[in-house]
Amino acid sequence: MSERKVDDVMTTDVVTVREDTPLKRLASLMTEHGIACLPVLDENRKVVGLVSEEDLLPGRENAHRVRRWLHPHAAEAATTRARDVMSAPATTVPAGTTIAKAARLMTEPGARRLPVVNTDGGLAGIIAPRDLLKAFLRPDADIHREIIEQVFTNGLGIPPALIDVQVVDGVATLTGEVPTTEDVPFATRTASAIDGVVAVDNRLTAAVDDRHRPRTADLTDY
């Protein structure tokens, strides 16, 4: 089954900084662009760290630096750089990572924003929690089309004419007859895994009840 990837929803026009970018410039970039973090790149555009809003606020290990920097006469503003406050190494994900896997990674401490890297380690984009919401903004018509294809045409080999699929606001209602009882939960699992599906109302019935079918003997039984 096809799953949407981080490539589909990530921000590709990423504002980045170098390790020697001054603290005042970091704050200026975040304010100017309305962003919450800045990937820190080396000379080869490889991600070496991540500076977030939290890294520039008191209450973390670098708080003593930031308090002096925030003071209007702070001398350290000219000497403290991104390398001094960034979180490193940054948690990154390869291009092609599924949205589901990225979402799981974001539950880990310090991984609320994930730089996406190419096979050579270069920055391809960045993904934030709000980007994951895009997966739930798919048109109902697109979700309907994928359920028909993935669950019934490819998954169960059932002609679309034999079943009815309705999708309203991401809620999929499945009606019709499938070959066996085992196919009913399969339809629920497969439809639920499709990006944009919020819930599945499975009203399918089975032509054959195979829940108590005797197990076929195997040669290892003898």
Contacts of 54 (CB under 8 A, 6+ apart): 60
Question: Which residue has tokens 């291009």?
Answer: 95
Range of weakest confidence among 11-25, 36-50, 61-75, 156-170: 61-75
Q: How far apart are CA 69 and CA 75, in angstroms?
A: 7
Vertex 96, ends 90 and 101: CA angle to 5°?
65
Hey, where are the domains in the chain? 6-134, 140-208
Strand partners, 24: none
% of the chain with per-residue pLDDT over 90: 42
Per the structure block, which two tokens stand in for 151?
């669950």
Q: How far apart are CA 199 and CA 217, in angstroms?
A: 38
Superfamily of domain 6-134 in CATH is CBS-domain (3.10.580.10)
Local structure of residue 26 (DSSP, 8 states): H
Question: Are 42 and 19 in contact, with CB atoms under 8 Å apart?
Answer: yes
Comparing 6-134 with 140-208, is the CATH topology the same?
no
Confidence band of 67 (pLDDT split at 50, 70, 90): very low
- Residue 73 sits at φ, ψ, to 5 deg, of -110, 25
For 140-208, which CATH class?
alpha beta
The model's pLDDT over 182-217, given as tens digits with 9 standing for 90+, comes to 999 999 999 988 878 878 899 999 988 766 555 554
Question: Are 3 and 193 in contact, with CB atoms under 8 Å apart?
Answer: yes
- Using the predicted structure, report yes or no on whether residue 69 has a pLDDT greater than 70: no
Q: Is-above-0.75 flag for pTM? A: no
Confidence at residue 59, expressed as pLDDT on a 0 to 100 scale: 52
Strands 93-94 and 114-117: parallel
The model's pLDDT over 14-46, given as tens digits with 9 standing for 90+, comes to 999 999 999 889 989 999 998 888 999 998 889
What angle separates helix 63-70 from helix 23-33, to the nearest 10 degrees?
Answer: 80
Question: Are 147 and 191 in contact, with CB atoms under 8 Å apart?
Answer: yes
Question: Are 178 and 206 in contact, with CB atoms under 8 Å apart?
Answer: yes
The model's pLDDT over 101-147, given as tens digits with 9 standing for 90+, comes to 888 888 777 778 899 999 888 899 999 888 877 766 778 999 999 99
Q: How far apart are CA 127 and CA 188, in angstroms?
A: 29
Per the structure block, which two tokens stand in for 115?
């730089």
